[in-house]
Structure formats: C-alpha cells, structure tokens
Amino acid sequence: MIAPSILSADFARLKDEADAVPGADWLHVDVMDGHFVPNLTLGLPVVEALERATDIPLDCHLMINDPDRWAPGYAEAGSRNVTVHAEAAHDPRRVARDIRAAGALAGLSVKPRTPLEDWVEVLRDYDTLLVMSVEPGFGGQKFMPEVLDKVRTARRLVDTGHLHVLVEIDGGISRETIEQAAEAGVDCFVAGSAVYGADDPERAVEALREQAVRASAHLGQG
C-alpha cells in the first residue's frame, strides 16, 4: 500500500491534491499540535472537510499530546485509520478501544528511538503499527535505516501469528529507500515529498508501488 502524505501537498488546494493521487491506497494526514512535535499543521475541521472532498480513505497520524481525548473524533469523522503515538497516549489500550468503537482502525506509532519491545503487548489491541523512520515533525527528512530492525521484528511477530497489525513506515520513503523498507517487511509506505515533490504525483505513486512489490516479491516464500 502507498499512502501519500499531504504534508508535502499544497494546503490551499487539498481536494485537488487528493485528486492528483487516484491510485493511493490511503491518504496520510499529519496532525501536529506544536507541543508533541515542534510543528503545527491542521486539525479535525480540515480532516472533516477533506473526508467530504475525497473517496480515498484517510490515514490520520496524530502527533499530538493527549490523543486519548482527541483521537476518537478523527475516527467519528470517517477516517479509515487513526494512529496515536505510544509516547503520548496515557492509556493506549483504551484509546485503541475508543478509536475502534468509533469505526476506524486503530494505529500505534513509535518514534525512531522508542523500542518496539515495550509495546508488543499493547499492540495486540491495535490494527496498525506505524514505525517512524524520521523524527516526527517535518517532511523531507533523511530516512533512518536503523529503524528497519523494528520492522523486521514486527514482520516476524505478524508472520508467526503473535500480532495482527499492518506494518506501516513513515519518513524519508523515496525511490532510493523504499526497497530496503519493503525487504524488511513493510505493508504500507507513507511518502510525502517523494509523491508531492514529483512532477507527476500519480505516476510517482505507481512507481513506488512497483518498486516495493518487486523488492518484497521474495518475502513469504521461504
């Protein structure tokens, strides 16, 4: 799956920017509060408007404090997946329950330096795991290959039936980095600048997908 991140899109033309990636599986929406991360982006009213403007399922990535309070609203707005940060949630199990009860998939994200081991039990209550491959806050940063160990661990736990999450990666995914992420076992690739920085975003999505499919073709065959 490819999830273009609208953080790199033109915020004044969000509907057009969604329409520019008709092949996207999910549209990734970065919600930042200026506290959990140093950047500030958009919130629920914009997500509600975007939900009305596109048929592409929204993948809301909440980089905010107290997601326990705010996450269910994003699910009620019709998002397909709502991801909260492990480092920010007060009661991550309850948040997952609340998100699911409001009709969305529940996602848990870990920053690059947050170990996966601490969250494996909690992840039993989640549908997606978002592994950050940059420090959250800004688009266009350099991919951190060291997080791929967490992807490999998660892939193993999923393939052996210990976890049932979709493994998503976010940050620095491009033509240069997507193959190593695919080989490590990623299911869903967020890409901001690599899609919206391209001359043809639609084509960029397809090129990334082809590359990921090719790189992961050998997975699961042994």
Cβ-based nearer residue to ligand DX5, 136 or 157: 136
Query: Looking at beta carbons only, is 96 or 131 nearer to Zn ion?
Result: 131
| C-beta of 5 vs 153, nearer to ligand DX5 | 5
Find the binder of ligand DX5 among 72, 107, 172, 185 (CB under 6 A): 172
What is the closest distance, in whole angstroms, from the C-beta atom of residue 188 to Zn ion in the complex? Answer: 11
Would you call 170 a catalytic residue per the annotation?
yes
173 binds ligand DX5, rule: CB under 6 A: yes
As a three-state string, the secondary structure of the chain is: CEEEEHHHCCHHHHHHHHHCCCCCCCEEEEEEECCCCCCECCCHHHHHHHHHHCCCCEEEEEECCCHHHHHHHHHHCCCCEEEEECCCCCCHHHHHHHHHHCCCEEEEEECCCCCCHHHCCHHHHCCEEEEECCCCCCCCCCCCHHHHHHHHHHHHHHHCCCCCCEEEEECCCCCCCHHHHHHHCCCEEEECHHHHCCCCHHHHHHHHHHHHHHHHCCCCCC
Q: Which of 25, 127, 170, 187 is catalytic?
A: 170
Check residue 78 and give left, alpha or beta (phi > 0: left; psi -120 to 50: alpha). left
Q: Is there binding between residue 9 and ligand DX5 (CB under 6 A)?
A: no
Residue 191 contact among Zn ion, ligand DX5, none, beta carbon within 5 to 8 Å by kind = ligand DX5
30 catalytic, yes or no?
yes
Which of the ranges 9-17, 69-77, 169-177, 206-214 carries the binding residues for Zn ion, by CB under 5 A? 169-177
* Residue 107 near ligand DX5 by CB under 6 A: no
Residue closest to Zn ion when measured from CB atoms: 61
Question: Which member of 51, 168, 170, 187 binds ligand DX5 (CB under 6 A)?
Answer: 170
* Position 30 contacts ligand DX5 (CB under 6 A): yes
Name the burial class of residue 146, with classes exposed (0-12), middle (13-18) and buried (19+) by CB atoms within 10 angstroms of its CB.
exposed
Query: Which residue in the list 30, 33, 98, 127 is annotated as catalytic?
Result: 30
Q: Tell me which residues are annotated as active site.
A: 30, 170
> Under the rule (CB under 6 A), what is the footprint of ligand DX5?
5, 7-8, 28, 30, 61, 134, 136-141, 170-173, 190-194
